[in-house]
Structure 1
């Protein structure tokens, strides 16, 4: 039965959140589109964790609310213990784009007036909050958020304030307080009597997450609402169980993948369950409709799982990227040095007779000629891209993915860029993603390899890795050929 539900404000972060739970033994699924209510209930009986990947981080406040309100209402009506609004561990947001303040307002209107914990820190990614000031590592150096090279010059949400209380107060009239590290040894349980509407929580180590899990994340009523990064996801997982160590045998046995811990079987069978369709005995938590948007209810009538018995061939990889991060540029350069082809997507793109971008044909040609991988990227073109232009880039990159997987043997795709990844997967018509079992040594923190659930048989079962701009080792792309 579902214990945690979450909405991720971008797709890359959503896969990270899901991975935080599955690494501690929870069975989870990430939905790309909202299914009909009866199917959502069936999923709630199958999975411990249900996530919905969204694009709120790239939306203005009114569009953001239209996206998140019906989804949060539906997740609330499933009756989990927690509902998380998942945000980036660098607090990417502003009063006009991806407002965490608006998400806080919407959440309180749905879940009630209890104090909302806000945990942005994620120590395993080098993201720390101390006395409410946020810090983020880059290239081996930890910077205050407003001085971190990438975030201080982010093309959509440049960060000019490291005090998260001040940063969030610019996005809402609700009162933002804080709990600081020196008070953690004496932390009370969930404080429903605070004069604040939300509390920013410090965290510097995994032990701090465990302190939060034992105290603050013990709500008197359910479902409880919280906002935060993958660090919050880990804290929630810790709050729900006597935690096994990450990827230990007990946790992985719950998923049926204890063999991965010992590496006794490299090619684990992957058989994913399908919704049972049995009659629901769930009593709704409120008389409101579970989802107020008919288009979302009708978006996915069937959640058919991929039918895989072995790991698909992964000797070639396709990367499509709208990321402007220096880390992604470094990863592209490393791949090119390993023999990959790098193909820029210009705008407006050159097209072939069927209307698809010409770069897709170039990618197919390179892969069929034996290139170990191809990166199709937007270069610096998406630096100021918003709205219609961002959508156009995403549509063209999705067309590249579709043509490549339909005409080559590529079964592993990387989508880089938090703002573009969600649009690309929605363009592809995916229904959902399930975690593909890996060990901690396979991938950097913040990354999760997933298996696609889709009606298109060429996309169904495809491996996707969604990568935020600042995430991953320099050799990430080429390393995926060997996992």
Structure 2
């Protein structure tokens, strides 16, 4: 790799919270990473001294195949032009997707046209740091200290939009991409590096469309990353997978002695916030516990009525005024749409949106945009400088309404859900501290930990 080559990796996230997860893995390893809402121009990149990795946060996980195709095509066209050896389509670490919503198979089909000459797309989903493991093609995820096979996971097997009923990632992906999907299994990744490389070459010689890597621990993660990185030295490579890709690349770079930039957003002056706003569009049991814990810890809870979510014409003034009043009085607030997957408000909201002609596949976007408009208004009226957004499917739409163009990690809070600095052309929004978390991330006291970051 040329020493003058500035960009090591570019990634496109299938949702905003997943993108911050990848950004965190890179930044904590000393490689300056900025996450953008749209693929950046060379002029925009020049604003960030020592930038090493570039991310683009997307909303494809919540989109139907035609809309996903349009979004991914636009992002990959630009990312493929960057001087980055590896371009990564970032999936959720639990791989939740379906043939109709958030299709990873469709993303692969669309993206690979921008990487001519590459016959096989590497697929790496395991991320031990996040409690995600792939073994003989079967995927597992940790929750509250227990590790579950994906189709038996208490949350992912019951996901309201893309429930995971198949733990074998090859079979799951086959429903979205009816092509040959190979496997580099745990046994084939063990042993002398030259033998592992030979096994990998033999796998590639059969030209599968996709090749999945097992990942059980840091050793297999490093080995898999080395195989992917070595191939990228012969020309830009397109890779699909979770932030395990970023963890793998940073391990490879550390081993190779690739210099760190050591430059990240300045967190030296980070201080705890007296009060914050937390906005949750998540229906996961983890988010429910976090909301309930926050209220127990003194946050003022405000449930968002289904009628307000469904009404695009009017503004729920009483609700917003209540939030601003509490925040202005020094009390933290949590605005939430639901308490867990069994909350009756979920069905009510869907029914109301359906009655307006809004399809189920567009529900996440509609809710996210509503939450984004309200969040920006509350920030401005209450003069807030720190905010939390919870919900992987809606976070991208929320941030899209807030008038920001980029983010950079300030401080880790919980793995996969750091506190970030916001970049915006709007002086009132620029510099705001924002934490984004997916439904499964963070402990019960996550919201309070964000509030207190800097102690």
**Structure 1 137/41 Cα, relative in aligned 2: closer, same or farther at 3 Å?**
closer
Matched, 1:197 2:206: no
In structure 1, runs of 5+ residues without a counterpart are 245-249, 258-266, 270-309
Match of 1:23 in 2: 28
User: Normalising to structure 2: TM-score of the pair?
Assistant: 0.87
Q: How far 1:39 moved relative to its partner?
A: 2.6
Native 8 Å contact 1:360 1:399 kept in 2: no
Deviation per residue, 1:191-220 (Å, 9 max, x gap) = 442331111111111121111122243115
Q: How does 1:54-133 map to 2 (within 5 A)?
A: 54-112=58-116, 113-133=118-138
Match of 2:321 in 1: 361
* Aligned equivalents of 1:370, 1:151: Cα separation in 2: 37
Matched, 1:395 2:369: yes
Native 8 Å contact 1:188 1:216 kept in 2: no
Matched, 1:229 2:199: no
Matched, 1:428 2:402: yes
Match of 1:374 in 2: 333
Q: How far 1:409 moved relative to its partner?
A: 4.0
Q: How far 1:356 moved relative to its partner?
A: 5.0
Q: How far 1:357 moved relative to its partner?
A: 4.5
Aligned residue for 1:314, secondary structure, equals: coil
**Structure 1 208/330 Cα, relative in aligned 2: closer, same or farther at 3 Å?**
same
Matched, 1:240 2:253: yes
User: Normalising to structure 1: TM-score of the pair?
Assistant: 0.82
Match of 2:286 in 1: 327
Match of 1:149 in 2: 154
* Aligned equivalents of 2:362, 2:452: Cα separation in 1: 37
Deviation per residue, 1:412-459 (Å, 9 max, x gap) = 1111000110000001121111111x2xxx522111211111122221
Q: How far 1:315 moved relative to its partner?
A: 1.8
Native 8 Å contact 2:272 2:452 kept in 1: no
Q: Which moved more, 1:403-412 or 1:128-137?
A: 403-412
* Aligned equivalents of 2:413, 2:124: Cα separation in 1: 24
In structure 2, runs of 5+ residues without a counterpart are 1-5, 351-359
* Aligned equivalents of 2:160, 2:317: Cα separation in 1: 25
Structure 1 residue ranges (4+ consecutive) displaced by more than 6 angstroms after TM superposition: none
1:347 to 306, 321, 333: 306
Aligned residue for 1:91, secondary structure, equals: coil
Q: How far 1:240 moved relative to its partner?
A: 3.1
Native 8 Å contact 1:177 1:200 kept in 2: yes
**Structure 1 188/216 Cα, relative in aligned 2: closer, same or farther at 3 Å?**
farther
Native 8 Å contact 2:39 2:79 kept in 1: no
Q: How does 1:257-272 map to 2 (within 5 A)?
A: 268-269=267-268
* Aligned equivalents of 2:180, 2:47: Cα separation in 1: 36
Match of 2:355 in 1: none
* Aligned equivalents of 1:78, 1:243: Cα separation in 2: 22
Native 8 Å contact 2:50 2:263 kept in 1: no
* Aligned equivalents of 1:392, 1:171: Cα separation in 2: 25
Aligned residue for 1:149, secondary structure, equals: coil
* Aligned equivalents of 1:228, 1:116: Cα separation in 2: 10
Q: How far 1:311 moved relative to its partner?
A: 3.0
1:471 to 423, 441, 452: 441
**Structure 1 43/461 Cα, relative in aligned 2: closer, same or farther at 3 Å?**
closer
Aligned residue for 1:92, secondary structure, equals: coil
* Aligned equivalents of 2:302, 2:226: Cα separation in 1: 49
**Structure 1 72/357 Cα, relative in aligned 2: closer, same or farther at 3 Å?**
farther
* Aligned equivalents of 2:225, 2:99: Cα separation in 1: 30
**Structure 1 45/67 Cα, relative in aligned 2: closer, same or farther at 3 Å?**
farther
Root mean square deviation, CA, Å: 2.4
**Structure 1 417/222 Cα, relative in aligned 2: closer, same or farther at 3 Å?**
same
Native 8 Å contact 2:408 2:420 kept in 1: yes
Native 8 Å contact 2:63 2:362 kept in 1: no
Matched, 1:445 2:406: no
Native 8 Å contact 2:101 2:361 kept in 1: no
* Aligned equivalents of 1:40, 1:316: Cα separation in 2: 32
**Structure 1 68/370 Cα, relative in aligned 2: closer, same or farther at 3 Å?**
same
**Structure 1 346/130 Cα, relative in aligned 2: closer, same or farther at 3 Å?**
same
Native 8 Å contact 2:179 2:209 kept in 1: yes
Deviation per residue, 1:268-296 (Å, 9 max, x gap) = 44xxxxxxxxxxxxxxxxxxxxxxxxxxx
* Aligned equivalents of 2:222, 2:368: Cα separation in 1: 39
Aligned residue for 1:213, secondary structure, equals: helix
* Aligned equivalents of 2:162, 2:264: Cα separation in 1: 41
Higher helix residue share: 2
Q: How far 1:187 moved relative to its partner?
A: 1.7
**Structure 1 459/182 Cα, relative in aligned 2: closer, same or farther at 3 Å?**
same
